[in-house]
Structures are given as C-alpha cells and as structure tokens.
Amino acid sequence: MKPKKNPQLEIGRNSSVFFAIGLNIMLFLTWQALEYKTYESKDYVIDVINVEQQLEEDIPIVPVNTTPPPPPPATVSESIKIVEDVEEIEETIIESTETGQDDAIVEREVNISDVTVEKMAEDVEVAFAVIEDVPIFPGCEGLNKNQTKECFQTKIQEHVKKHFKYPESALELGIQGRVSVVFVIDSKGYTTNIRSRGPDKVLEKEAERIIGLLPKMKPGKQRGIPVKVAYAVPIFFKYAEE
C-alpha cells in the first residue's frame, strides 16, 4: 500500500527556522516603533520691544496761608455768695385717721325703711337643655313646656331647610360635611353670638347666614326672669353623587 503524503513535502520540517525568522522580524519592528521620535514644528516670531524711559514730573508743593485758630475764650471767674437761711419752714403734721381702743364708738340705729335694695339685672346664660322656660318660636304659643320645647326644635329644622342653599364654590371644590352652629337667644329674643365650626370657611359662613335669619322670639326665662339661652344645631352639607 502506497502512502498518501509525499515525504519530501513535509511542512513541519523547517518550522523552527520560520519561527525564528518571524520572531526576529517582530523584534525589529518593535524596536523601531519604540525608537521612533516626532518633533513639533512651531513658528516663532521675534519682535523688538522699544522701551522708552518716562520721567515723572515732580509736583511742586505750594504753601497755603491758613488763618490761625481763634484764641480760647477767657475764663470767667464765678463768685459764690453764701446766703444764710433765716426762714423757718413749718412742718405739716398728719394726724392718723385710725381708731384706737380709747375712741368711743357712736351707736346709730338704722330702720329697715332707710335701706333701699336695687335689683341688678343678671346677665346669665343658660343652656337650652336645663332652662325652665324655653324661648317661644313664633307659632309655638299656647303650649305646655314639653310641647313648646319640641315645637322650638321642629321650627328650627324647618327654618334651616327653608333657607338652606349649597354654596357654588363648595360644589365646585367638592367640599361637604357637618357644620355645628352655636348661637344665643338673648333676654330680648334676638339671635346673637353666632359661632360655627366645620370642614371649610365657606360652609361655616353659609350656616351662620341661615341662623342669622331666625325671627325674633319670646325670650327664655329662669325663675321668671328673662335670660340668655344657648342653643346648638348641626347643619349637614352633602351633595348627591351621580
């Protein structure tokens, strides 16, 4: 059987020679690259600077005739004259107004007819829940105490529904909630001292406007005397969601 390769054409025979030649060539190229030098080319312009010496002129000092300061004022000798105090000063004697044990007390009889008693109007504020006679809302006359109290509360609710108006600004901003309003019916039957607390100033203002439209009432009484009566009512602001 004949071999397929030609023994005279074996490639690996001279591989070491070729490797040594290639290695030398690479070393030579590396050495040339390391030894390569470059130079920057610059254009230099040589100018001549002429420096002239400048002389500074001396400014002459001119004396100015100034007026001398005025002389100090002459000292005035003051003579002190001693005057003898010959006037006598009378001392004011302050007598004590306090009574002592030796002072006699004058007895005085006072009759009952000589004593006058003035009735002072008491500015008393009583809560609606404990008032003896509640304020009478117009239309609630002629009822007993319990019926008058229930009629008052019913009339307040009807008044709120009648004058209720949802503020447009609160609708646009989506503001809703409960506003607690506290007010006082004074001793003459007028609604005063309206205060409110709620989620927004707009709703508080509207609630105070509704309560401010309450009519004049017959004032509440405590022990038969007209007094101020405090009352609280909640007003709900709630819009229907579509």
Distance in angstroms (rounded) separating the CA atoms of residues 61 and 55: 18
Residues of the chain whose pLDDT is less than 70? Answer: 1-13, 39-66, 73-122, 241-242
Q: Which of 164, 151, 140, 141 is nearest to 213 (CA)?
A: 164
Q: How many domains does the chain have?
A: 1
Question: Does the pTM of the predicted model rise above 0.85?
Answer: no
pLDDT in tens, 132-150: 999 999 999 888 989 999 9
- The verdict on residue 48 lying in a domain is no
Structural domain containing residue 181 = 125-237
136: which strand partners? 218
What digits encode the pLDDT tens for the residues 148-196? 999 999 999 999 999 999 998 888 888 899 999 999 999 999 999 999 9
Task: Give me the CATH number covering residue 140.
Answer: 3.30.2420.10
64: amino acid identity, one letter: V
Residue 105 lies in a domain: no
